[in-house]
Amino acid sequence: MASLSVLCDAAKEKLSAEQKLLVERETALEADCEKLQAEKEAMMKAGITESDLLIINVGGQIFVVKRSTLLMAPEDSLL
């Protein structure tokens, strides 16, 4: 019976640690969402929209792209 109690306690500790991790991740996600919203609001105040056309020079080749197209790239992209 003692081994069942030990297993139960270990499972409770693991669950508690996982719950703590989830709460930390949720808090970080909420903070990131707030930062993103603040950045969007600042861009809107500056008159910058996702439909803006941007002219970029890539290796001497000129491209015209929408800002929204570039915003679709992942953060670790070289775009």
Per-residue confidence (pLDDT) for residue 49, from 0 to 100: 75
- Own/partner contacts of 47-56, CB < 8 Å, gap of 24 or more, are none
What confidence tens digit (pLDDT) does each residue in 5-57 have? 889 999 999 999 999 999 999 999 999 999 989 988 887 787 777 778 889 99
What confidence tens digit (pLDDT) does each residue in 1-18 have? 668 888 999 999 999 999
What confidence tens digit (pLDDT) does each residue in 59-74 have? 999 999 988 888 787 8
Q: Are 48 and 67 in contact (CB under 8 A)?
A: yes
pTM (predicted TM-score): 0.54
